[in-house]
Amino acid sequence: MVTTHNLGFPRIGARRELKFALESYWKGESSREQLQALGAQLRQRHWQHQSGLDWIPAGDFSFYDQVLDMSFTLGNLPERARGFHGDPLDNYFRVARGRSARDAEEHAVCCGGIAAGEMTKWFDTNYHYIVPEFTAGTQFKLDASRLVAQVREAKAQGIKAKPVLIGPVTYLWLGKAKDDSDKLALLERLLPVYAQLLEELAAQGVEWVQLDEPVLVTELDAGWQHALNQAYHHLKSSSVKLLVATYFGTLQDNLYLFSNLPVAGLHVDAINARDEVRPLLNLLPSHRVLSLGIVNGRNIWKTDLNAALDWLEPYAERLGDRLWIAPSCSLLHVPVDLACEQELDAELKSWLAFALQKLDEVKVLATALDMGRAAVAAELAANQAAIASRRASPRVTKPEVRAAIAAISPALGRRQHPYLVRAGKQAALLKLPAYPTTTIGSFPQTAEIRQARRRFKAGELDEAGYTRAMQAEIARSVREQEALGLDVLVHGEAERNDMVEYFGEQLDGYAFSQFGWVQSYGSRCVKPPILFGDISRPKAMTVAWIQYAQSLTARPMKGMLTGPVTILNWSFVRDDQPRAVSCYQLALAMREEVLDLEKAGVRIIQIDEAALREGLPLRRSEWTTYLEWAVESFRITANGVQDETQIHTHMCYSEFNDIIESIAGMDADVITIETSRSDMGLLEAFDDFKYPNEIGPGVYDIHSPNIPTQEHIVQLMKKAAERIPAERLWVNPDCGLKTRQWPEVIPALANMVAAARTLRASA
């Protein structure tokens, strides 16, 4: 019999219940007990959703981030968070976001704010994790209470639980040595704590434990490869059976190492690494379980079940009861339930599968393998009809878009003159001071904005009324910025629900769910648009809003756009053509918007490419091809304008040092980047590479409610000036401010503007 299991389930809730509970707790509007009760309700519901699987994950639920959970389980807290004597959950949130709850009556911070943990992308996904921090003296001490409690909960509910942990080598690989020490030297201290944890789980009656080691799909030097061998030889005597899981890519030169780890089972991503399954099977010892991730855990298209069975059946015959099947990775990256969707048209909906539907696919495949296809004939026929419908639909392919792609030439990606020529013309036109100040684009999405949007969608507010409501919010943003003394203003993006969804809603070839939320970090959720067909732009998308904002001020107003690579990487992308083709289609559509903004008199246009780096293949040897089409897509979007039009781009929460030359190749006049959580550490790239254009290193962390001081901002900018000429530096936050509140934003920006004035005075 084939064994079915799951690697992880979306934790946020089908209606974002966890998001709202977290934010209520952080505001002091609800208690710790209420938050914990909501967590227990979600876990119970999610385990019930997974009933019918042979093994169900436990420990995959988190109040913020699974890597941060692992840090607390291992007792690896940053020095600044140690010695805290309040509620451990509050200390957890202090590391996650710099601050935890507020007292509901006094509106006072209940615990001291600290610098939040650095945050970056989880491999090549849009999920962010809190980076573990290490020093040469780091010690580990087990706290298994969270995981043991969830295992006990599952057991009490009759759940056959398989605890899920970040593997020890991946945990070290994900972290950062704050003193430049060797992270791998900590492995010998770490492994006994992992061994102790496994014994704690065995004492709870646990049979299988899943250890996630996605580091295996990256390029590892001999030291890291040896660490994997060392780790699992140390843990092989554990009283539980270990399933080592890898996903998101191919094993390549780690294939032999992976196949010979001394564990009871291995999980491989059979979506990305399908061609490696046969050689892996030839290396697999005869007693070892092989789990195949046959259903795509990162995208929302239905699995072609008949094709999957054609591929699976020979392996099932060969492996017998040693074959497990599952989604390719945790379902954290997809929405919960397609059945919630009432507005998607029936044809498009028939092409999709969210988390619950993906688990149904796993169950159908297992039944067919165990009992024959006849046992699930109706399900297979319905699936085949949906697959055929998508392939034949005229909604998917548009000849005019294909013709435009074929006509792309290198000239589309070139500015008229190099940066130095452009910079002189832009300076004469814009007349900005030294250390010009700006923000990244969005301002707080207030209750009034959200209410107006809800009423408009419900038909309770007509278009004219909605426009007036949004204009009022834009006017407020402009007034606040002028009062603060910012040099380059933004309209605040009141009318935008999300930086990708907003554009996708106005582009042909996209569709939108009502409840297709996925977690980006903490309580932050996004609802990725569904890119199902060829892309085109029917009409201008932002021009009227930017024109209105510019009419309210004499100061420069930035036009705000999302770049083609970010729209691509933050969408559920069609899987029936190369990603590069879809990106070029988006580039041509967004280029039309850039040119329309310029015609409307907008002289600064920001094209955000926050997700450029996260689209990188996990293996450096594959980067060049991706970067070529990604950078060219940006250039096609940006470079049709006149020299006098200043092009900005923004990148956030990415380790981009190793692609700095490609970023320079984008040839944006100004780039703004996240640097505050790393204490300007990301600017080390500029020690060896002289970035040719202007740059705005983010000077305060917008993902934390902590308000930066003027002195701290001055200090950060002085660090930046050690690497970048002061005349090419801008002063700005790390990212957009939509998730903050005005009472936080105004004093923070006031300190930022005051810091810029101090810097000018001392220049």
735 is in an annotated binding site: yes
* Distance set, CA 351 to CA 310, 529, 582, 611 (Å): 20, 15, 19, 26
Cα Rg for the chain, rounded, in angstroms? 26
340 is in an annotated binding site: no
737 is in an annotated binding site: no
Handedness of CA 745, 746, 751, 756 (dihedral sign): positive
DSSP 352: B
Phi/psi of residue 561, each to 5°?
-135, 160
19 is in an annotated binding site: yes
333 catalytically annotated: no
493 is in an annotated binding site: yes
Amino acid at 308: A
* Distance set, CA 523 to CA 26, 95, 123, 488 (Å): 10, 15, 20, 30
583 is in an annotated binding site: no
Q: Residue 567 and residue 503: Cα distance in Å, rounded?
A: 8
Provide the b/e sequence for 145-168 (b: ≥16 CB within 10 Å): ebbbebbebbeeeebbbbbbbbbb
Q: Residue 367 and residue 308: Cα distance in Å, rounded?
A: 13
Alpha helices by DSSP H, listed for 372-410, are: 377-392, 399-406
17 is in an annotated binding site: yes
Name which of 130, 116, 132, 135 is nearest 77 in CA terms: 132
Residue 431's CB: how many other CB atoms inside 10 A?
A: 9
The residue written with tokens 């919010």 in the block is 473
3-state helix, strand, coil in the chain (%, to 5): 45, 15, 40
Q: Residue 576 and residue 587: Cα distance in Å, rounded?
A: 19
301: CB partners within 8 A, 6+ apart: 351, 352, 353, 390, 572, 574, 575
Q: Residue 306 and residue 246: Cα distance in Å, rounded?
A: 25
476 is in an annotated binding site: no
125: CB partners within 8 A, 6+ apart: 248, 298, 333, 614
Q: Residue 350 and residue 371: Cα distance in Å, rounded?
A: 26
477 is in an annotated binding site: no
Detail the DSSP E strand segments found in 100-228: 119-121, 128-130, 133-134, 161-166, 176-177, 208-212
160 is in an annotated binding site: no
Between CA 10 and CA 16, with CA 11 as vertex, the angle to 5 degrees is 100
Q: Residue 246 and residue 269: Cα distance in Å, rounded?
A: 7
Between CA 164 and CA 173, with CA 168 as vertex, the angle to 5 degrees is 115
Given 49, 267, 333, 703, the catalytic residue: 703
440 is in an annotated binding site: yes
* Distance set, CA 729 to CA 138, 363, 427, 617, 724 (Å): 36, 56, 14, 31, 7
CB burial of residue 398 (10 Å; 0-12, 13-18, 19+): middle
321: CB partners within 8 A, 6+ apart: 1, 2, 3
Alpha helices by DSSP H, listed for 495-622, are: 501-504, 543-551, 564-569, 579-599
Beta-sheet pairing, 508-511 with 530-536: antiparallel
Beta bridge pairs of residue 698:
732
525 is in an annotated binding site: yes
614 is in an annotated binding site: yes
Q: For residues 637 and 587, is the Cβ–Cβ distance under 8 A?
A: yes
276 is in an annotated binding site: no
Q: For residues 134 and 174, is the Cβ–Cβ distance under 8 A?
A: no
491 is in an annotated binding site: no
16 is in an annotated binding site: yes
Known catalytic residues are: 703
Residue numbers in the known binding site are 16-19, 121, 440-442, 493, 524-525, 570, 608, 614, 650, 652, 674, 735
Residue numbers in the known binding site for 5-methyltetrahydropteroyltri-L-glutamate are 16-19, 121, 524-525, 570, 614
Residue numbers in the known binding site for L-homocysteine are 440-442, 493, 608
Residue numbers in the known binding site for Zn(2+) are 650, 652, 674, 735
Residue numbers in the known binding site for L-methionine are 440-442, 493, 608
